[in-house]
Amino acid sequence: MVVRAMFLLMRGLWVGCLNDAYRVQRLSALTCCSRQNLSQMGARMTARALVCGSVLGCVVLLYVPTAAGQAAGSGPQQAADSGTSTDLFVMPGSDFDRPGLVPRANLNIGIGHTFGFLKKDPIGDEVTFTYTYENAGSHGFFHTDFGSHTEALGVMKNFGLPKTKTVSGYTWIQAGLCSFTGHAHVENRFYDGEALGAAVHFNSHNAVWIQESYNKMPTVPWYTTTGIGYTWSW
């Protein structure tokens, strides 16, 4: 089921890349096409290609070794005993940009892997990779001609809460590259984010995350993001 889901995700991303390539080819054949339109199309193709390659790489590096280790050992129970797990998460939310706490769409998808030998590490025990799309325009909520595309690596620290096993807490530190599209040229900025959240566990495979994060990039005012999302673990 996991392999099939990831295959469908990759196919969708690659179809988007091919559609953009076809549009660029058609636009370049028209004399009325401006360089700015071609630049925006090229930026979108580059962002999607980066997401495709990154997601595929994470699947190969995280899922395949975990599956191989389970097959060589005593099955899923061995992975549970060692404290390792892999999380695939989707987290839509809203930015609150300054000044004015203006709401903007923030859509996040990512994958993470928990390492048993890092359980006592104070910084984190789970390594994550995420892609985030944000509406970077001055109006609207979901989408404008100006977008913010961020690929980030992160370290998450999961910790239990007293008197409950249904709810756990986590801290999340991320750093990566943010690309602003919609201008004459793509503008790249370093991204830094810190989050504090809680996870509500329905069972060993399904949970809902609720978090509040602080985000900062050079030349951009700091802003906060409130998000709620679903994660599937194996």
Find out whether 62 and 111 touch, Cβ atoms under 8 Å: yes
Find out whether 170 and 198 touch, Cβ atoms under 8 Å: yes
Q: Per residue in 17-64, pLDDT tens? A: 445 544 544 544 444 445 555 445 454 544 454 444 544 444 444 444
Domain count, the chain: 1
Q: Is 183 exposed, middle or buried (0-12, 13-18, 19+ CB in 10 A)?
A: middle
Q: Per residue in 149-195, pLDDT tens? A: 999 999 999 999 998 989 999 999 999 999 999 888 899 999 999 99
What are the angstrom distances between the C-alpha of 153 and each of 54, 72, 112, 193, 194?
Answer: 11, 29, 10, 10, 12
Dig out the tokens for 170 from the structure.
Answer: 């986590």
Structural domain of residue 6, as residue ranges?
Answer: 2-233
**Which residues are paired to 112 by β-bridges?**
87, 128
Q: Kind of pairing, strands 220-233 and 102-114?
A: unpaired
For residue 134, what is the domain's CATH number? 2.40.160.20
